[in-house]
Structure 1
């Protein structure tokens, strides 16, 4: 395997550098308010909002960790603009994931709000989409619970203004502003870790294929284009005994509800009232045109590289993931040194993302499966060819895909 970088391409602005680790600090919440009612939330007597209980180099003084709402146990993930912790909710004892995003730059705020809008615009839950429990804005020792589309909240509107104007409005280096996302915890890691640490299992593959297509159909039905589907952003929950996939990380997602079908990105705060129209969305979600090159190279559709695409780009990314999962096609990421699931095209000594290769040569024929002794059925092979069609109009939409995936996995 060749070492390559599966670098992330972020919409409009580049992501800021990695955040500095803050050790030995307890993040205090002097008052926690619900920004709908303007009344203090029910709190413990000493009302710290979050506390760090896991550190590599330093230890916390016991007196600093009194009655937190969530105890942060350990760091489980770190990206270019946020840190994810495993945590315990003090009142219920439930294990949760807490993502901390520092709002120190407009691009960070934009990514945080994209995730916030996507997850809070969902009126119903889906077992294969990660569940957001709450979002808290912390600044100047004040923690305020954020609610979707609340135009009466000055803090919420200032975050939106920061994102739109591209200027720092909230927080200063000596007085940082944070958004905390409290979500369900997935103890099984991500799809890379789960698949590559186990022996091949066709039954698990079929189950995961159905779960993934069900999740994407649900998102598209709710007018959400994920735009960064990849194994890193697919988590595994094992609470029920059998593995359940959870599509996560909506920082590059786009909510396209109630917008003109010509260009979704003309309206960067789409659906913020949480009441986006669902009428005819089964048809119209694939008519919303997006223009920002988003995602990670190895999963990007040809049209995304050109910057003119629709929700069908999610179908292409799903095809890359499923193909790589079935045949265990991997590459080594140059930055993280991790082995990642991802399909590619060999060009001499180089490997090139499938979408980029198809953009350069639209007549190129994909060899699915790659391995001569593959157990891939004819039905799955034909479906993958259709999902990875160079012309997005030749791909099934998410709802057609869900029906066809049920058919080919039941027949296998």
Structure 2
């Protein structure tokens, strides 16, 4: 990122910075405007060109979805490239959770949003590979914030058999030793799946499911620590304490996972689902479609009144007023 944050009023092409709204995994987030429209700017260092190219390629070929941030444009400024995204000015899921500390029942709806976003990626043969609360953005909804999966810098194409295959990969981890070092040294104890342990293993769609399970669990446990790399407070997944020391869940047995989940999550239905997502064996984790179907059974629907119903009700009230007025006038 640029050494100095962008000040309100700074112009990046046709986009005018309004304010900073947070910090993501790769850079700062800003609310911006172009005319009357609002957008979110997210920066990346120019020396991370592989990440810029990868994300632009992925987003350009991805159909739009309510729960995946929409790529609009990119603008160069200083030593950074800024992605112009749809308006997500609430910021990151990480920052929102730390600030608001919502109850578990509310979190179920956010979980459902993310599951639907991941399903959209998987249906389009995209393995995200970097799911964490800093790579989920929030936009204002009618009744609550809406989660949107973001940052496809590390994403790869996969196939329907839950393996990466010969579909052209924009990003090939084998040609980026610095990327493998980044994954294994900084992220392995946070939101990465067991597959990261083996340098020869590959990422799968099931890898995203494991990471999503850790996000769900972290949302409820809300363990906050200061991250020196990002210079901000971060939500960390819970760990298991053993005689040998503290062990991250991706290194734990299924029994350890079940005991940890049961101690944190109140809902029995969510416990079962999260334990399945965190299964050490990738082939035994639910697929994204199964995850979404299961969550429909316990996520409370948003109580919104359809616009069509409101219009019909308004017309009915207006008609009653006209009839009553006419009748009173006639009787008089």
Q: TM-score range by the shorter chain?
A: 0.7 to 0.9
Identify the match of residue 110 of structure 1 among 33, 39, 50: 50
Measured in 2, the distance between the counterparts of 1:328 and 1:79 equals: 18
The secondary structure found in structure 2 opposite 1:88 is: strand
Kindly indicate whether residue 12 of structure 2 is the aligned counterpart of residue 72 of structure 1. Answer: no
Asked if structure 1 preserves the Cα contact closer than 8 Å seen for 2:33 and 2:39, the reply is yes
Residue 233 of structure 2: aligned partner: 338
Measured in 1, the distance between the counterparts of 2:79 and 2:112 equals: 40
Kindly indicate whether residue 102 of structure 2 is the aligned counterpart of residue 208 of structure 1. Answer: no
Residue 268 of structure 1: aligned partner: 169
The worse-fitting range, judged by mean Cα deviation, of 309-318 and 178-187 is 178-187
Kindly indicate whether residue 120 of structure 2 is the aligned counterpart of residue 180 of structure 1. Answer: no
CA change 1:378–1:324 in 2 (3 A) is: same
Kindly indicate whether residue 128 of structure 2 is the aligned counterpart of residue 128 of structure 1. Answer: no
Kindly indicate whether residue 281 of structure 2 is the aligned counterpart of residue 391 of structure 1. Answer: yes
**What is the CA distance between 1:365 and its match in structure 2?**
4.9
**What is the CA distance between 1:210 and its match in structure 2?**
1.1
**What is the CA distance between 1:212 and its match in structure 2?**
1.2
Identify the match of residue 39 of structure 2 among 96, 104, 124: 96
What TM-score does the superposition give when structure 1 sets the normalisation length? 0.61
Rg larger in structure: 2
Asked if structure 2 preserves the Cα contact closer than 8 Å seen for 1:380 and 1:409, the reply is no
The secondary structure found in structure 2 opposite 1:407 is: coil
**Deviations 1:350-386 (CA, angstroms, capped at 9, x unpaired):** 533211x23xx67755414353xx6622221111111
Counterparts of residues 148-167 of structure 1 (less than 5 Å): none
**What is the CA distance between 1:78 and its match in structure 2?**
5.2
**What is the CA distance between 1:314 and its match in structure 2?**
0.4
Asked if structure 2 preserves the Cα contact closer than 8 Å seen for 1:368 and 1:385, the reply is no
CA change 1:193–1:265 in 2 (3 A) is: farther
CA change 1:197–1:53 in 2 (3 A) is: closer
Counterparts of residues 50-61 of structure 1 (less than 5 Å): 53-54=7-8
- Higher RCO (C-alpha under 8 Å, 6+ residues apart): 1
Identify the match of residue 301 of structure 1 among 193, 196, 204: 193
Measured in 1, the distance between the counterparts of 2:218 and 2:24 equals: 23
The secondary structure found in structure 2 opposite 1:369 is: helix
Residue 205 of structure 2: aligned partner: 311
Structure 2 residue runs without a partner (length 5+): 172-178, 302-332
Counterparts of residues 338-357 of structure 1 (less than 5 Å): 338-348=233-243, 350-355=245-250, 357=251
**Deviations 1:188-224 (CA, angstroms, capped at 9, x unpaired):** 2222222222244233112112111111111100111
The secondary structure found in structure 2 opposite 1:345 is: strand
Measured in 2, the distance between the counterparts of 1:68 and 1:262 equals: 41
Measured in 1, the distance between the counterparts of 2:192 and 2:159 equals: 23
CA change 1:313–1:69 in 2 (3 A) is: same
Structure 1 residue runs without a partner (length 5+): 1-18, 24-51, 139-175, 271-290
Asked if structure 2 preserves the Cα contact closer than 8 Å seen for 1:73 and 1:87, the reply is yes
Which has the larger helix fraction?
Answer: 2
**Deviations 1:251-292 (CA, angstroms, capped at 9, x unpaired):** 11113379x99754784338xxxxxxxxxxxxxxxxxxxx96
**Deviations 1:61-88 (CA, angstroms, capped at 9, x unpaired):** xxxx7x9511123444557864443221
The worse-fitting range, judged by mean Cα deviation, of 328-337 and 108-117 is 328-337
What TM-score does the superposition give when structure 2 sets the normalisation length? 0.74
Asked if structure 1 preserves the Cα contact closer than 8 Å seen for 2:115 and 2:291, the reply is yes
